[in-house]
Amino acid sequence: MEVTEQFDVWTKALDKIQSEISIPSFNTWFKSTKAEYVESTYLIYSPNNFTTEWLYQRYSNFIMQILEEITGESDFKIDFRSMDNSSTKFESSLIPGRASLWLS
């Protein structure tokens, strides 16, 4: 997947998310996120550990659904990472083998 396609997928995902949750929730949890696609994994970056953990705990399944809907694919993983140079990986019990949380 090219860089432009990566950007388009996350932009479309954010548009879909914004249409399905409240504006305050979107602005608080999603507005400052960025994402990239690397080796069959969407790396979702949040500004800090708290936001990263919140997205992981409360929105993993929702984000996975949105990405599957947009891409038509289901053979990818999602990693939630803080923009604070995250380094410790936690496997998700929410979506075993498909979602990970990285905190510093």
Helical axes 49-71 vs 3-20, angle rounded to 10°: 100
Secondary structure (3-state) at 62: helix
Residue-wise pLDDT tens digits, 7-49? 589 999 999 999 999 999 999 999 999 999 998 999 999 999 8
Using 50, 70 and 90 to split pLDDT, how confident is the model at 84? Answer: confident
Phi, then psi, of 92 in degrees rounded to 5: -85, 135
